[in-house]
Structure 1
């Protein structure tokens, strides 16, 4: 039984009220640790430490800050195996996925923003013969970063790295469902020489410590990734405070498959895009629309591939699909499978829980599930399920494909599968998502803006967008000719 602690002022500290939550391994359903259930007293300690650390950190030369962040990236790489093991155990994802994606990407986040801090520049605007304006971009101060459970260290560092690189102190809250690698990051921060108080890691429930962080008057900006309902509640609470707010929320992502696609590649990539991390990635394809002339052929090939994927112990080296992250999420996904049937769907493959032998007999496993026959207005085509369930439907022409793709209140990501470059450009311009991938999925350049439209979020993260969010612009006008 492992008991985690909060990371405050460069030290690991038990929660002030001695309150803890169970940490459950999703592959086994067993409690294997305790997580602090932090409260106001813990936040006060973190805020006090951040206030003391802020003058040093914000005034430190950017190159020196970058050196610390780069060292932290190298330490993550050096500890890839224990971090990957922890991520797989905590989240239920295959160990191979944590090794190949989650932990390397966490290191890349710190490397990228360490370098970005030295390249981040402001603007000047000359008024010929009269004056010059220049823009200062200064750290906001103390900011809050709240990350989700699906890509724990990957998305935790995605927020923390630019905030620190810009010269802010950070109060960070990982998901209480997957807290382990965030706690391990605190240990690496000490080794990297991050000054005390610059980063606090507070564990606990979103409705408690998460809400306290959002509403604390000394926290001047919030970056949140999570569900759209929670994001809407945060936006409502914070509107009167005029805090800067970045919301990366849910998705109901369409994939448009045209008859002229590279067929075999498209099938393979959409199996991955649908079921990677058990479908628990906000960017996963969940609605697949196929041009009618190849619908039956695509369906047969897709189902054949999906049927070969079976959930197994995520710590098994050969596992391609692991456990659902929690019992609550497991129950939610199963309820949507039943709802799909009630709404008239035909289950083509999956549609049931899976018993995994050995240590995982009590784990939360669901077979990858594909259904067809649901209209666009069906709840299973409108609501984010966040699990291994996708819907198939045919379309007749580009206009109908666009109408289906844009037919939900979400707008995070989409994929287009076509060899017609004119169609790709035309539809990419008209589809209402913040990210459009053509003939690929999850092909990420960290310089690009990341975020969604409509109920999928507010603002953008990534590259210069992140550095701009975590700084406050100030225009200085100097008149030099009277």
Structure 2
């Protein structure tokens, strides 16, 4: 049994009240760790440590802050195997996926923003014969970063890195479902020599320590990734204090497959975009709309590939591991059962896998229009629907038929069509003839109920700073 600790003021420490939560290994459905159930006292200690560290950290030369973050990136890479194993044990994802994607991306996040701050510039505006104005971007102070369970270290570092790079001190709250790599990150922060109090990590329930973090008057901004319903609660709480928020929320992403696409590539990539990480990625394509003229051909090829996906122990060579928790497994099953009752046709899958752990079959559904529940609600699992469309206008209408607007994929060899359709889809991210190609310089985030604000590149640097104009008379 592993006992995780909070990371406050540069030290790994027990929760103030001595309360812990069970943490489960989803591949076997058993408790393997105890995690702190943090309290107001723990938050108070973390805020004090961060406030004490802020003057020094914010005034540290940019080059020195950059070196600290580069060192942390090096240590993440050096501990790739340990971190990947921990991520798989905690989340259920294949360890091969964690080794290839999650942990390298966590290192890349620190490396990217460490480089960004030393290459950033400021603006100056000259009033001829009168004055010079220059704009500085000042760090906010102590900020809160709350991350989800699906890409635990990947998304936690995506928030922490720009916040630290711009001179803020951070209190991070990882998901209570997947806290292990955040605990290990605290150990690496110690080893990297990052000053005490600059980064603090508190474990516990979202409705508990997470809400306390959002409500605390000394927390100047909240960066949150998670469910839309939780995002609404955070937005309301933050609004009362005029606190900055960045909310990366749910998605119900469309994939539009036109009849002039590169067929084999469209099929293979659509399978990957639907079932990578058990479909537990906010960017997964869960609604696949296919032009009528190739619908049956696409369906046959797609289902055939899905049926060949291997589901099993994430420590072995598999395409999918278990879902993250018993509760989430039941949620996914309930969505599929509801679709069956409403007349959906299950082309493959649709059931729990009877074995130890939280496994669900990769599932393909057809026979439902774009307004049914399975095409409107975020399932966040290995479930995808197939729906035919007539023409561009029909495809666009179907793509835009949900409250979400995070990402979309367009498959066509007609460049003009790609531009026309992309400009009319209400999504923050559009991939054409690809999926999950990510340039860290680009803005990341969604429209409508998929969020507020953008992460990544200059957008992240701006979010974690406040512009201040200084006018000097000539």
Give the structure-2-normalised TM-score: 0.99
Shift of 1:122: 2.1
Aligned-pair CA distance for 1:479? 2.7
Contact 1:310 1:368 in 2 (8 A): no
Q: Which runs of 5+ in 1 are unaligned?
A: 356-360
Residue 345 of structure 1: aligned partner: 344
Which residue of structure 2 aligns with residue 37 of structure 1? 37
Superposed, 1:214-229 pairs within 5 Å as: 214-229=214-229
- The residue that corresponds to 1:161 in the other structure is 161
Residue aligning to 1:465: 459
User: Which whole-Å CA distance do the structure 2 matches of 1:56 and 1:293 have between them?
Assistant: 64
The CA deviation at 1:91 is: 0.2
3-state DSSP of counterpart to 1:115:
helix
Paired with 2:342 and 2:110, the residues of 1 have a C-alpha distance of 45
Question: 1:39 & 1:455 partners in 2: Cα distance?
Answer: 31
The DSSP-based 3-state class of the residue aligned with 1:148 is coil
CA distance in 2, matches of 1:260, 1:430: 20
Cα separation, 2, equivalents of 1:365 and 1:88: 14
Q: Give 1:86-235 correspondences, 5 Å limit.
A: 86-235=86-235
Match of 1:427 in 2: 421
1:252, 1:382 within 8 Å by CA — same for their partners in 2?
A: yes
Contact conserved, 1:310 with 1:367, CA < 8 A, in 2?
Answer: no
2:406 to 392, 406, 412: 412
- Deviation sequence 1:423-474 (CA, Å, 0-9, x none): 1111111110000000000000000000000000000000010000000101
| Distance in 1 of aligned mates of 2:188 and 2:309 | 36
Following superposition, the deviation at residue 210 of structure 1 comes to 0.3
2-structure distance, mates of 1:122, 1:17? 46
DSSP 3-state at the match of 1:473: strand
Distance 1:341 1:199 in 2: 47
Distance 1:163 1:50 in 2: 13
Structure 1 counterpart of 2:321: 322
- Equivalence for 2:364: 370
Q: Assess if the C-alpha contact under 8 Å between 1:95 and 1:319 holds in 2.
A: no
CA deviation vs aligned residue, 1:142-174 (integer Å, no higher than 9, x gap)? 000000000000000000000000000000000
* Aligned partner (choices 387, 392, 395) of residue 393 of structure 1: 387
**SS of the residue 2:143 aligns to:** strand
Aligned residues between the structures: 474
8 Å Cα contact 1:9-1:46 kept in structure 2: yes
- Of the three residues 435, 442, 450, the one matched with 2:436 is 442
Separation (CA, whole Å) in 2 of partners of 1:288 and 1:132: 55
Determine the C-alpha separation between the residues in 2 that align with 1:242 and 1:216: 12
**Residue of structure 2 in register with 1:81 after alignment:** 81
After TM superposition, give the deviation of residue 130 of structure 1 in Å.
2.3
1:23 CA displacement: 0.6
Where does residue 478 of structure 1 map in the other structure? 472
| 2:12 counterpart of 1:18 | no
Question: C-alpha offsets along residues 181-203 of structure 1, whole Å, 9 cap, x if unaligned?
Answer: 00000010011110000000000
Aligned to 1:358: none
Aligned partners of 1:47 and 1:152: how far apart in 2? 23
Counterparts of 2:424 and 2:119, CA distance in 1: 33
1:124 shift after superposition: 1.6
Tell me the distance in 1 between the aligned counterparts of 2:346 and 2:133.
63
Q: Secondary structure at the match of 2:270?
A: helix
2:313 alignment counterpart: 313
Asked whether the equivalents of residues 253 and 412 of structure 1 are also in contact (C-alpha less than 8 Å), the reply is: yes
Aligned-pair distance for 1:127?
2.2
Q: Which deviates the most, 470-479 or 459-468? A: 470-479
Match of 1:309, SS? Answer: coil
